[in-house]
């Protein structure tokens, strides 16, 4: 069984990019052709929306799979469709795995130990997609309840060859209100980062990176640099690029010498490329999937990874 970091970095080297496409479907931004499903598909409006999100996400996966290493379904949008949405996201995750992509479930879970065990068991399929009802390779996790509540996730990650991304410094404008508070001369996010690095070491084996990752937003470039120093062997998930204002130059210092150690997320800017220039022109002449393909290619080329 290959551990998460080995699988992730193999995928990044195969696709030669650190780009990750976020699957955040939103009814109001779907291409026009999905109006048919939203109106005519059998079931109530939640079931119809779930059907549209599944079809849209599957087609995004088919378009981007040649260019990126991973996708990150944002569970909130599927949950907002009720039970049909959860079935849809399960199918989307399986479709992505069948396409050879690394799947990060963005569900931001976290709770006391026994409950955390159930969350981990539900989401961390790891190297064997049949090991959990939701076949994710890795999961986003909140550290707010304390270090002991991360342990069940770490144990499951080790057992199943799965990965975690613990929220350290999130990309939203107000993330400093708690994460930036200073205690014992260090910001809370630095304390979390030190703990993530410690937990990560226990999963590391002989590889350069372990399986306990951290989320650090591209919108805080100075913190990103500092936190990379605190977590030198921790794989980073960096959201906030593109639609939230983060740039490639903000993120580059977090990569190691081989172009590894960081996955960069972009959701809206890729999956809804048909809504913004210059890709809207591509959509007009060649359809929305051509626009997504062009946006995914451009995004992937911003974060090149050399072949192994
Ligand atoms: O865990 C995340 O992925 C995440 C953490 C964070 O700090 N900021 C953040 O934007 N995200 C997620 O990353 C995605 C960003 O989407 P775009 O802004 O459209 O690229 C959303 O699904 C967010 O929930």
For residue 24, the domain's CATH number is: 3.20.20.70
Catalytic residues: 108
pLDDT band of residue 2 (cuts 50, 70, 90) is confident
User: Does the residue 163 lie in any domain?
Assistant: no
Domain that residue 79 falls in = 4-155+239-302
State which of 105, 193, 221, 239 you would mutate to test the pocket of ligand 1, scoring each by most atoms of that ligand within 8 A of its C-beta.
Answer: 239
- List residues near ligand 1 (CB under 6 A): 22, 24, 74, 106, 140, 170-171, 215, 217, 239-240, 242-244, 265-268
Q: Which residue's alpha carbon is nearest to atom 4 within ligand 1?
A: 239
Is 245 domain-assigned?
yes
Residue 171 lies in a domain: no
Please check whether residue 98 lies inside any domain of the structure: yes
Cut 0.95: pTM above it:
yes
Which own/partner pairs from 91-95 qualify as long-range (CB within 8 Å, at least 24 positions apart)? Answer: 91/54, 91/58, 92/23, 92/53, 92/54, 92/57, 92/58, 92/61, 93/134, 93/135, 93/136, 94/129, 94/135, 95/57, 95/58, 95/61
Q: Is the pLDDT of residue 207 over 80?
A: no
Number of domains in the chain: 1
The CA-atom distances, in angstroms, between 42 and each of 2, 29, 32, 36 are: 42, 21, 19, 11
Identify the helix (H) or strand (E) that includes residue 302. Answer: helix 288-302
Domain membership of residue 110 (yes or no) is: yes
Distance of CA 39 from the midpoint of ligand 1 (Å): 29
Nearest to 81 by CA among 52, 123, 122: 52
- Specify if 120 maps to a domain: yes
In a domain, 201, yes or no: no
Is 83 part of any domain?
yes
pLDDT tens readout for residues 85-123: 999 999 999 999 999 999 999 999 999 999 999 999 999
Tokens of 280: 């809207």
- Please write the tens of the pLDDT for every residue from 251-264: 999 999 888 999 99
Contacts with 98 (C-beta within 8 Å, 6 or more apart), sequence order? none
User: ipTM value of the model?
Assistant: 0.99
């Amino acid at each position: 069984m290959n551990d998460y970091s080995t699988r992730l970095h193999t995928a990044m080297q195969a696709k030669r990019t650190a780009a990750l496409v976020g699957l955040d479907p939103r009814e109001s931004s779907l291409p026009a052709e999905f109006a048919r499903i939203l109106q005519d598909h059998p079931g109530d409006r939640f079931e119809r929306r779930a059907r549209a999100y599944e079809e849209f996400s599957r087609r995004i996966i088919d378009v981007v799979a040649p260019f990126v290493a991973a996708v990150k379904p944002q569970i909130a949008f599927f949950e907002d469709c009720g039970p049909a949405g959860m079935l849809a996201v399960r199918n989307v995750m399986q479709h992505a795995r069948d396409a050879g992509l690394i799947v990060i479930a963005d569900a931001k879970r976290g709770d006391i130990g026994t409950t955390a065990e159930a969350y981990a068991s539900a989401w961390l399929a790891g190297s064997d997609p049949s090991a959990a009802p939701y076949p994710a390779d890795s999961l986003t996790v909140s550290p707010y309840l304390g270090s002991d509540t991360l342990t069940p996730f770490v144990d499951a990650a080790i057992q199943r060859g799965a990965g975690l991304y613990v929220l350290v410094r999130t990309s939203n404008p107000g993330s400093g209100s708690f994460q930036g508070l200073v205690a014992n001369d260090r910001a809370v996010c630095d304390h979390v980062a030190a703990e993530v690095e410690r937990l990560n070491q226990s999963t590391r084996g002989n590889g350069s990176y372990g399986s306990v990752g951290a989320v650090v937003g591209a919108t805080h470039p100075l913190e990103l640099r500092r936190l990379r120093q605190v977590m030198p062997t921790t794989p980073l998930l960096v959201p906030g690029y593109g639609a939230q204002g983060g740039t490639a130059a903000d993120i580059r210092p977090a990569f190691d010498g081989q172009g590894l150690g960081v996955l960069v997320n972009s959701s809206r800017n890729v999956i809804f490329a048909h809504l913004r220039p210059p890709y809207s022109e591509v959509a007009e002449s060649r359809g929305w999937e051509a626009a997504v393909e062009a946006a995914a290619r451009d995004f992937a080329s911003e974060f090149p990874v050399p072949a192994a």
